[in-house]
Every structure is written in structure tokens, then in C-alpha cells.
Amino acid sequence: MTSTIHINLGERSYNVHVGAGLLAQAGEFIAPFAPSKRVFVVTDKTVAKHHAPALEAGIAAGGLELVKLIKLKPGEESKSYDGLQEVLSKLLTAGINRRDLVIAFGGGVIGDLAGFAAGVVKRGVDFVQIPTTLLSQVDSSVGGKTAIDTPEGKNLVGLIHQPRLVLADADVLKTLSKRERRAGYAEIVKIGLINDAPFFTWCEKNAAALLNADPAAVQHAVTSAITFKARVVEQDEREEKDIRALLNLGHTFAHALEAHAGYNGDLLHGEAVAAGMAIAFQLSASLGMCAEADARRVRAHLDACGFVTDLRKLPGAPYNVDKLMALMAADKKAEAGKITFILARAPGRAFVERDAPIDVVREMLQQETA
């Protein structure tokens, strides 16, 4: 079964296709967006090893020419100034022009990096997202956010460059480790915690099946998460109305944790998000905004899924509170010296909070890391 979710952004509108066997049809789907019939694929060595032959065959079947297959080192370290320079240099050396198409073929790192490169090379060429991880299928491949990490923090240099198409092939998820599937699950359960309490209940009942790659559970979860994000992006493409900001539940803490850990692969983005969501609910409870029982319920579910929500045991520990606070203050969502948090009144009732007492945040982090 294949689902199609349309994202209505006027002239920047596009479809997200979710289902099995989409790599074999990639050329057919992509051809309308490649007027030159020439495509450039940016991927990493791990994805290329498992899936490049299938994509190459799909591209050829659609009558397209694969000009260059750019294979990067896997991991967050590639999402950097050096990684961007490498991609741009290889695209330019291979003779890319503005009628060509870039294909981002990989997880969130590749999607963010390749999308950014496509957005700036020759002052912008079109690109297509073919996400290969659960996390990138349900989150980073949709919405047009592209960026690289810098020493100052995560995703601080980038642009919004919408893809022309997203192909989320369920078959590529079969090569993921359970840890990688779990990391993707963080962005799925996040949807329920933001504004869909019944979906959070569904997650509590079906997380085990989803983490074990049950096809029906995966299809329902991926389609539900993308549909939710599509509606949010339609209303607030550039995150100017606080609507899209809600998608950052857990991310203010998560990005600080990732930067603190050093982007060396020890801490996956989804693992940081899960810990960040647990902290966000605990902060909400500490501020009297949600019940302690709700914070415990959220943490218990994340713990039951195998996430580490205890910062003392989280990869990258020990975490320094002063450094975490400084990293959060440098976050791109911070305004006028104040840190923006996404907090909640209950599962499914998240809201934007720009005036949380910093002393309470610091005290809570000290308790979490002590």
C-alpha cells in the first residue's frame, strides 16, 4: 500500500509518497522535476552499500542520467562546513547546472546537507528527498529545513529550501538497526505529545510492533507523522507564527545535548530528542503547568522503549549544566536573550514558552545531571 500526502505551499507544493518498492519507481517519480534528465545523488557510504544499486536501476528505468554519485562519510560530522564544501566542490566539478536535479539519498544528515548544497549551488537547483531512516522519513525530509552544524551549535547555518518530491520507501528501513529505528520513533511519538493525545495512546500500545518493523505499524506511524507535519508546514512554513515551533518539542534541550556530546555519533539525534522531551515534561511539571503524573507517564513510556532519559547515563555524559545553558542560549530559537522552550499542559497539549524562569531550568538540569 502506498500513501500520498500533498503539502500545499502554492508554487512550492509537493507530494510525499509513503510505501514499499518506491526506489524501483524513483526515475518515474523524479523525471518531471529533472528537465535536463540529469541527476546528482548525494548519499553516504553505508546507504550506498545497501541501496545505491536499487536507486541507480530506478533512475535508469525512468530515462534519467546519473551524472555523479557522491558518497560521504556516515555520521553527523559530515554535516559541517567541510562536508558542505566537499559536496559543492564535487557538484561543480561534475558540471551541475540549474536545470539538473540533486537527490538527497540518506538520513537526516544527508537530507540537511544535500538540501542546503542544492539551495546554494549555482544560486539554487531543485532537489528531491529520498530518506532512508525512520527519523528522516517522518521529520527532516519534510518541510524544507536544511542546515549544517557549527561549533556554536546545531543547525545554525542553513536555509529553507523545499524539495520537489519526497519518496519514503518502507523497504529501506529493513536494513536499519533497532537503535536507529528507536531514534526515529522519538519524532513519531513527539506528534502525539504535541497535540494528538489519542495518537500518543496508540504509540503506547503499538511501540513494540513499530520498533520491530511491523509493516502495518510502520505505515500507519509514518503516514500519520508526515500528515501532521504537512499540515503544520502549510500553516507556518518559515516558523513565524509559533505553529511550526511546536515541532521543536524536546529539541531545545536535545540540540544542546548533541552539541555538548560533540556530534561524534555516540548520541543519535532521536536519542537526544527523547531525553529532551522527558526533560520538557519534567520542566512543565516543575513549573506547575502539567501534572507530575503526566511527566512520569511520558518518561515511563520513553524508558520502556529503550531510550535513556537519565542524563547521568545518556551517551556523552557527564553533562555540564553551565555549558548546556550557554548552548541553549545560542539556539536559533532564542530571542532577546531568552530561551524558547516547548512545554506541555498534558500529553497532546504542547505550547510555546518564551519566559520560563531560567533559575528553575538550571536547577532542574542540576538535578538531572547530579
Model confidence pLDDT, tens digit, residues 67-100: 999 999 999 999 999 999 999 999 999 999 999 9
51 is catalytic: no
Is 353 noted as a catalytic residue in this protein? Answer: no
3-state secondary structure of 323: helix
Does the pLDDT value for residue 244 go beyond 80? Answer: yes
Confidence of residue 331 (pLDDT cuts 50, 70, 90): confident
Place of cell 557522491: 70
SS3 state at 100: coil
pLDDT at 30: 98
Given the residues 90, 182, 260, 269, select the one marked as catalytic: 269
pLDDT band with cut points at 50, 70 and 90 for residue 35 = very high
| Per-residue model confidence as pLDDT tens digits over 339-350 | 999 999 999 999
**Which of 285, 294, 282, 303 lies closest to 366, judged by CA?**
282
CATH class in words for 3-175: alpha beta
- Assess whether 155 carries a catalytic annotation: no
Q: Given 38, 51, 145, 154, which residue is catalytic? A: 145
Check 86, 180, 237, 239 and give the catalytic one: 239
Strand pairing class (145-150; 153-160): antiparallel
Average pLDDT over every residue of 44-50: 97
239 labelled catalytic: yes
pLDDT of residue 242 exceeding 70 = yes
Range list of β-strands (E), 45-143: 65-72, 101-106, 126-131
The verdict on whether 182 is a catalytic residue reads no
- List every span in the chain annotated with CATH 1.20.1090.10: 178-369
Q: Give percent of the chain with pLDDT exceeding 90.
A: 94
Contact of 302 with 271, CB cutoff 8 Å: no
Could you say which architecture CATH assigns to the domain 178-369? Up-down Bundle (1.20)
Compute the distance between CA of residue 331 and CA of residue 342 in angstroms, rounded to an integer.
13
Catalytic residue, from 123, 205, 240, 313: name it. Answer: 123
pLDDT digits (tens, 9 = 90+) for 128-170: 999 999 999 999 999 999 999 998 888 999 999 999 999 999 9
Q: Please confirm, yes or no, whether 205 is among the known catalytic residues.
A: no
Among 76, 86, 187, 353, which one carries the catalytic annotation? Answer: 187
Local confidence band at 281 (pLDDT 50, 70, 90 cut-offs): very high
Range(s) within the chain of domains with CATH label 3.40.50.1970 = 3-175
User: What is the structure's pLDDT at 336?
Assistant: 67
Catalytic residue among 38, 90, 251, 301: 251
Q: From CA 276, how far away is CA 154, in angstroms rounded?
A: 15
Which one of the listed residues 86, 248, 353, 368 is annotated catalytic?
Answer: 248
**Residue 181 in this model has a pLDDT that exceeds 80:** yes
